[in-house]
């Protein structure tokens, strides 16, 4: 399964280093070419000779120890790898990477990497839950790093809880699944909208909503992994876009409308996840509106309905919309499906704390044009993205494009 795949394993200091030895062995047995990089702390637990014997390759420990004078080792290794795995990843290396600190060979190489980087944390349960560590992991997630979540159980420190490095067999399975992904969308152009829009009241105020763009960015990431040519039209968000896609940044609903209409004819599949403002202030003040005694009344005007216009224009395209509802979800979703001429509506109840705006998970139901209804369990937004694109692929294969 992994024959010919080049994997750089970055090993940082913790008792779980012994699992990294097993991981090296299993990846090598699966056919991968593995090169290992160790931090000073990791070498306190296991001698580099162990990894050298298991990987049949040199082990890298020092930024200034150039084993080949023709190349700069940390840049060469960053370019060489098809996938980089940090396992075990300590709170220390997670913090350094999140803050752009490059003070050893591992952190220097990671900052130069262009391949996917996976982080497999291993630490004490209280360290794992510390606000600083949580913040650093959130930052890396926003940067596009992927996490292999730790397991729960007895920890070396004596505590029982979350913090155990995932078992080597499971990490290998994740790696195999990663490289086994079929390019279902090769040759297909996917247009995705994401995030909120903002409608100005004056130079310092605007109206908007709670959308963070996580769902749309997840769809864009999965689509490009499946070989699609992806165009992402994004409202204001703190997220970093996935590599290898075209990003069009907009702010207002009008700007998003113009960008979508400009690119829609190029798309085979259009997935509109953006939470656009339905109304905008009728008057946008040139200067800041000063507060006065008594109430302030704002008059609003309807914005353009992007999904409705796409439904009118679509020919040989698959059009998928989202419906964020707080009640009567099925009724509103099915009405939207018909009225806006979409092929599928993905609906979710945004009243739930674990679903909708700003969360890492989503609980959705997909309503299809053929009358079928697909209810998904609570899943990560990336998994939801996979299921949405799976349906899009089926419609594509059925000849709807």
Q: Is the pTM of this model over 0.75?
A: no
DSSP of 31-54, one letter per residue?
A: T-EEEEEE-TTGGGTS-HHHHHHH
Q: What is the mean pLDDT of the chain?
A: 90
Among the listed ranges 45-59, 67-81, 213-227, which one has the minimum average pLDDT value?
67-81
Residue keyed to tokens 């913040």: 135
Same fold, 6-180 and 189-400: yes
Per-residue pLDDT of 243-263, as tens digits, reads: 789 999 999 999 999 999 999
Task: Judge contact between 199 and 303, C-beta under 8 A.
Answer: yes
Taking each helix axis as running N to C, give the angle between helix 381-395 and helix 214-225, from 0 to 180 degrees, rounded to the nearest 10: 60
Determine whether 397 is exposed, middle or buried from the number of CB atoms within 10 Å of its CB (0-12, 13-18, 19+): exposed
SS (H, E, C) 264-275: HCCCCEEEECCE
What pLDDT digit, counting tens, does each position of 280-320 carry? Answer: 999 999 999 998 888 888 999 999 999 999 999 998 899 99
**Contact in structure between 166 and 120 (CB atoms under 8 Å):** yes
CB hemisphere CA count around 100 (13 angstroms): 1
Q: Is 60 exceeded by the pLDDT of residue 56?
A: yes
- Just list the catalytic residues: 157
CATH class of 189-400: alpha beta
Alpha helices per DSSP H over 57-201? 73-80, 91-98, 105-112, 125-129, 131-143, 168-180
Q: Which helix (H) or strand (E) holds 230?
A: strand 229-234
State how far the Cα of 348 lies from the Cα of 365, in Å rounded to an integer: 7
Domain boundaries along the sequence of the chain? 6-180, 189-400
Q: Of the candidates 321, 373, 326, 362, which has an alpha carbon nearest to the alpha carbon of residue 344?
A: 321
pLDDT of residue 151: 72
Top pLDDT among 273 and 401 is at 273
Mean pLDDT lowest among 115-119, 164-168, 291-295, 349-353: 349-353
Q: Show Cβ contacts of residue 332 under 8 Å, excluding neighbours closer than 6 positions.
A: 323, 325, 347
Quick check: 152 pLDDT over 70?
Answer: no
Q: Under CATH, what is the fold of the domain 6-180? A: Rossmann fold (3.40.50)
Question: Does 88 sit behind a cis peptide bond, omega within 30 degrees of 0 on the bond before it?
Answer: yes
pLDDT, tens digit, 9 for 90 and up, residues 333-358: 999 999 999 999 999 988 888 888 88
């Amino acid at each position: 399964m992994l024959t010919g795949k080049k994997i750089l394993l970055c090993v940082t200091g913790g008792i779980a280093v012994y699992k990294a030895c097993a991981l090296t062995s299993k990846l090598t047995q699966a056919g991968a070419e593995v090169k290992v990089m160790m931090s000073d702390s990791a070498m306190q637990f296991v001698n580099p000779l162990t990894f050298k014997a298991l990987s049949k390759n040199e082990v890298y420990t020092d930024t200034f120890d150039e084993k080949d004078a023709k190349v700069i080792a940390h840049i060469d290794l960053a370019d060489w790898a098809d996938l980089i795995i940090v396992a075990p990843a300590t709170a220390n290396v997670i913090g350094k990477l999140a803050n752009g600190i490059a003070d050893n060979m591992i952190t220097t190489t990671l900052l130069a990497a262009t391949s996917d980087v996976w982080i497999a944390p291993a630490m004490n349960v209280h360290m794992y839950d510390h606000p600083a560590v949580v913040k650093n992991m959130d930052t890396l997630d926003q940067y596009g790093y992927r996490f292999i979540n730790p397991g729960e159980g007895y920890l070396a420190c004596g505590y029982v809880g979350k913090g155990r490095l995932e078992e080597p067999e499971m990490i290998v399975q994740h790696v195999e699944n990663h490289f086994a992904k079929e390019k279902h969308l090769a040759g297909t152009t996917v247009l995705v909208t994401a995030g909120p829009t903002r409608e100005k009241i004056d130079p310092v105020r605007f109206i908007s909503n709670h959308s963070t763009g996580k769902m749309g960015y997840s769809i864009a990431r999965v689509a490009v992994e499946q070989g699609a040519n992806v165009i992402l039209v994004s409202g204001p968000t703190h997220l970093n876009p996935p590599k290898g896609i075209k990003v069009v940044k907009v702010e207002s609903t009008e700007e998003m409308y113009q960008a979508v209409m400009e690119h829609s004819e190029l798309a085979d599949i259009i997935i509109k996840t953006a939470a656009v403002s339905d109304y905008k202030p009728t008057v946008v003040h040139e200067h800041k509106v000063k507060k006065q005694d008594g109430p302030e009344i704002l008059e609003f005007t309807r914005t353009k309905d992007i999904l409705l216009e796409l439904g009118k224009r679509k020919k040989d395209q698959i059009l998928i919309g989202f419906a964020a509802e707080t009640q009567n979800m099925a009724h509103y979703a099915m009405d939207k499906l018909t009225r806006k001429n979409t092929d599928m509506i993905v609906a979710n109840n945004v009243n739930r704390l674990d679903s909708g705006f700003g969360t890492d998970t989503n609980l959705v139901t997909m309503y299809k044009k053929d009358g079928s209804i697909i209810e998904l369990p609570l899943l990560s937004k990336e998994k939801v993205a996979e299921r949405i694109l799976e349906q899009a692929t089926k419609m594509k294969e059925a000849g709807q494009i």
